[in-house]
Structure 1
Amino acid sequence: MEDIAGPPTENGASIAVQIVLSAPFPMVLTDPRLEDNPIVFVNRAFEKATGYSAAQAIGRNCRFLQSAKTDPKTVQRIRDGIAKGEEVSADILNCREDGSPFWNRLLIAPLRNEQGEVQYFFGVQKVLGEPPEAEADEKLNFMLREIQHRVKNHLMMVVGLIRLHSREDVPAEAFEKLARRVETLQLLYEELNASGGENRDAVALGGYLSRIVNSLSELGGGGSLLVDLDIDSFTVPLEVAVNCGLIISEATTNAMQHAFVGREAGHIRLSVHENNAGDMRVELADDGVGMPKDAEWPNNSSLGGRIIQQLAKSMDGTLRMASGPRGSVVTLRIPRIKRD
């Protein structure tokens, strides 16, 4: 499994790898098709939490983290879940590389291929500062489960692209697009982690989208793009935030790639508003050269175009682009939604 666990190559693949490696929550990937279901991938957060380097962990079953005081019933429950190919969660007493014990909240889920066969098991972890009884269990469980759910749907693509790159030449653009989608999930994790938790299923949409736009403009614009914000303060359910984040990520990247050709600088304006009826309007405008006359966005012939169209449709929303010589405006409208 060196094509997964080995050092990133110096091309688009390294971007995807680096983002997953630097995710703020510990991540583990194991391969049940190999003898004893060994670890094939860990990220830097895992190394920091356990004290074990990737080189020390890869190739070993996760049981090496257990100690003599680890509850055998908990271990058996985890084994049974893996044997059945089911999701399983547990608070387990583990040991770091230096021998010091720590409580670990572990969520494990199978990653399946199109035929439904388990290819990997994906685990996210949370190091508990105190024994589980002293933690804010409900909020913590919610955050971990949501992040696991979002990330696992993209992780298989990450692994697949890295493996594919080891065999053939894959355009760097494919890795960069994937990396952006994974990064929107990392920003969402940080947004949830920083929230007060009054409503565990609520995300401040304007703040989340502005972080995405600012992050992408700094990454792709080299400081030459200025971002203006016009944002109402309101929250939306987590699922809506995820969908809007992915759509705005695609729209921002499209603007950076096409709007400012031949120019050294430009402006992007993000507007996020809610009217009295509860309808939402999200706009991303640029002062660029506009799209070519024969260009279409979103383009249904591309995977990215189909994805964001489906995301908008899932919210009963509409997605439009207006383009001219003074720039382009992408408008996402979403009718009133129920907010629990």
Structure 2
Amino acid sequence: MLVTDARAPDHPIVWVNEAFTRQTGYTADEMRGRNCRLLQGPATDHAQVARMRDAIAAGKATSVELLNYRKDGTSYWNAMTLTPVHDENGLAYFFATQTDTTHIHRAELTRQMKEEVEKQVEARTATLNTALDQKTALLREIDHRVKNNLQVISSLMLLKARRMPEVETRLALEGMAERIGAISIAHRLLYAEEEGTHFGLTEFVSELLSDLDAGMADDRICIDTEVEAIRLPASMAAPLALMIHELASNALRHAFPGGRAGRVAITARRTEAGMRIEVSDDGIGLANDTPNEAGFGRSLVEMVARQLRGSVRWIADGDGTRIEIAIPIRPGS
């Protein structure tokens, strides 16, 4: 609180309380005889100052809020109420109360900044979502076109294979067409995914084997799967399709000769380092299988495993065969 002399030139301060001195940093002696404009500074609102000056000149009460400055130069918001005090001779003093409202302005500034940041985040998020939607649509369109092109290539190779008189050449072309078809299936499944960056392994293997079973149906052989629900990057789809197709088709073709019945099992589980895939059968086993000099299935599987930074183990499991593939997965995949 403070009191100014309304009858003296420039309305000098005649009294301040202790709270005023704590708020401003000035002592009572330093303020006595001086005008309150001492508390104004470069950012003080001139319009509010003029409003206060007009009220004083008219001898009327008023309330203003100013950015004032302490003795040490730091600023603070000051809500001031001026009240005229009269005696028998008229206007004698102005009594003023001052309240530090800096905390209110800081809270308001924080709220405004928060709102602005939220608006910017919302705008940026909307932009990113739009870009992501466009990217996803583009990836799905690419997968769709690649799938169509691979299907055409596979069909051409099969057509050519049927016209080849040499059995060995015909089988080689048919094998390549099937491998291209497996990659085509991978792109077809990626196209069916809502997001183009990842795919679910469970559905992927099921669809892949369903297509394989349709092409090599044999009631003597049962295909069992136990695949964990693992989300994998789209970049792994084609290599995995090629690898799983190669191992499963080789088992169906070579593990059960002479009308022999049996079982092919495919499992996939997440491990600490990534993922482990096993393809096993209870067929005649590696030792009893007739080597195919023209074939390169084993080399192809090992090449794809290296591409995925993984490893392959070929195990003669009693009368059957088990292939173990360890593939690392990046964190967050």
TM-score w.r.t. the length of structure 2 is 0.51
Instruction: Provide the C-alpha distance between the structure 2 equivalents of 1:147 and 1:334, rounded to a whole number of angstroms.
Output: 27
The offset of 1:195, in angstroms, is 2.6
How do residues 93-112 of structure 1 correspond to structure 2 at under 5 angstroms? none
Q: Does 1:266 align with 2:266?
A: no
User: Contact 2:223–2:264 at 8 Å: present in 1 too?
Assistant: yes
Q: 1:26-55 CA distances to partner (integer Å, 9 max, x unpaired)?
A: xxxxxxxxxxxxxxxxxxxxxxxxxxxxxx
How far did residue 147 of structure 1 move? Answer: 4.6
Find 1:144's aligned residue among 121, 130, 141. 141
Aligned to 2:324: 331
Aligned equivalents of 2:205, 2:294: Cα separation in 1: 26
Using the alignment, how far apart are the partners of 1:225 and 1:295 within structure 2? Answer: 19
- Taking the aligned partners of 2:221 and 2:162, their CA distance within structure 1 comes to 32
Shift of residue 281, structure 1, vs aligned partner: 0.4
Give unpaired runs (5+ residues) of structure 1.
1-132
Q: Is the 8 A contact 2:154 2:181 kept in 1?
A: no
> Partners of 2:170 and 2:293 in 1: how far apart?
21
In the TM superposition, residue 265 of structure 1 has moved relative to its aligned partner by 2.6
Alignment correspondent of 2:304? 311
1:211 maps onto 2:204 in alignment: no
Superposed displacement of residue 228, structure 1: 1.6
Which string of whole-angstrom CA distances, capped at 9 and with x for unpartnered residues, describes residues 198-222 of structure 1? xx21111232123222332342232
2:185 to 184, 187, 193: 187
Whether contact under 8 Å (1:258, 1:291) holds in the other structure is: no
Q: How far, CA to CA, are the matches of 2:205 and 2:329 in structure 1? A: 19
> Amino acid of the residue matched to residue 190 of structure 2?
L
Give the alignment's Cα RMSD to 1 decimal. 3.3
Deviations 1:277-296 (A, max 9, x none): 24110111111121235867
Map Cα deviations across residues 215-267 of structure 1 (whole Å, 9 max, x no partner). 32342232332222211111111221211110111111111111111244321
Partners of 2:214 and 2:297 lie apart in 1 by 22
Contact in 2 for aligned 1:147/1:185 (Cα 8 Å): no
- Identify if the C-alpha distance between structure 1 residues 290 and 160 changes in structure 2 by more than 3 Å, giving closer, same or farther: closer
Q: Which has the larger radius of gyration?
A: 2
Matched residue SS, 1:222 = coil
Q: Flag the 1:167–1:268 CA change in 2: closer, same or farther, 3 A.
A: closer
Deviations 1:298-331 (A, max 9, x none): x897444433322111111112221244311111
Between 151-160 and 202-211, the greater mean CA deviation after superposition: 151-160
User: Are the counterparts in 1 of residues 280 and 320 from structure 2 also a CA contact under 8 Å?
Assistant: yes
Aligned to 2:275: 280
Displacement of 1:142 in angstroms is 0.5
CA distance in 2, matches of 1:145, 1:300: 37
Q: How does 1:42-121 map onto structure 2 within 5 Å?
A: none
Q: Equivalents in 1 of 2:328, 2:293: separation in Å?
A: 23
The residue number in structure 1 matching 2:286 is 291
| Other structure's SS at 1:233 match | coil
What displacement does 1:192 show? 2.4
Relative to the length of structure 1, the TM-score reads 0.50
Q: Any gaps of 5 or more consecutive residues in structure 2?
A: 1-129
Matched, 1:256 2:252: yes
Q: 1:223 to 1:172 in 2, by over 3 A?
A: farther
SS at match of 2:216: helix
Amino acid at match of 1:262: G
Identical residues among aligned pairs (%): 20
2:219 maps to: 223
Matches of 2:193 and 2:174 in 1, distance apart? Answer: 29
Q: Structure 1 pair 168/264, CA: closer, same or farther in 2 (3 Å)?
A: closer
When residues 168 and 224 of structure 1 are mapped into structure 2, their CA distance, relative to the original with a 3 A threshold, is closer
Counterpart contact for 1:187–1:208, Cα < 8 Å: no
Q: Separation in 1 of the partners of 2:193 and 2:313?
A: 31
Tell whether the 8 Å contact from 1:283 to 1:330 is kept in structure 2 after alignment: yes
Q: Is the 8 A contact 1:300 1:306 kept in 2?
A: no
Specify the code of the residue in structure 2 equivalent to 1:287.
Answer: D
